Amino acid sequence: MDSKTLAKELTRYIPCPIEVESSSMQTVFEEMGWRIAENFSAIEERDKVFDLIEFGMRNGDRRLRNVVSTGLIEAMISRTGAQPARWRQISSHLGALSAAYAHG
CA distance readout (Å), 67 to 2, 5, 9, 24, 95: 10, 13, 15, 10, 16
| pTM for the structure as a whole | 0.92
Q: C-alpha angle with apex 98: 40 to 12, nearest 5 degrees?
A: 45
Share of the chain above pLDDT 90, in %: 80
Q: What is the pLDDT of residues 55-75, one digit of tens each?
A: 999 986 899 999 999 999 999
- Average pLDDT in the chain: 93
